[in-house]
Amino acid sequence: MLDIFTRDNAGSRTSIIQGVDFVRMELSPQIDGKILISLTATTVDDEEPQLLDQEVAFERVDTLDDVIALIRTHVSIARRASPPPLS
């Protein structure tokens, strides 16, 4: 399971999106040599049979190392509880 930490909004704390089914990453080279990165989290709506997308990050960075750092900042792999032992 993935837990996603969204970017800070002015005057508010970072929120956490739990139960994310997958994260989409889009990279786009910019004319000035920077990289535009967009991270989007997708969850399943509990009330309707639909997928919900939420923007997690949308930033310009200098290197692929910065891309990895951005992912590490926003994505955490939550460990599942161990299943009960089989009888």
pLDDT tens sequence across 13-33: 556 767 777 889 999 999 999
Note whether 58 and 41 are within 8 A (CB): no
Closest CA to 59 of 69, 48, 46: 69
Altogether, the residues listed in the chain come to a count of 87
Higher pLDDT, 41 or 33: 33
Residue 35: inside a domain:
yes
Residue 49: inside a domain:
yes
Closest CA to 30 of 6, 7, 68, 59: 59
Range of the domain at 7: 2-77
Q: Where are the alpha helices (DSSP H) in 6-80?
A: 64-74
Note whether 75 and 2 are within 8 A (CB): yes
Is it the case that residue 3 has pLDDT exceeding 70?
no
Residue 87: inside a domain:
no
The total number of structural domains that make up the chain = 1
- Sorting pLDDT into bands at 50, 70 and 90, what band is 41? confident
Higher pLDDT, 26 or 2: 26
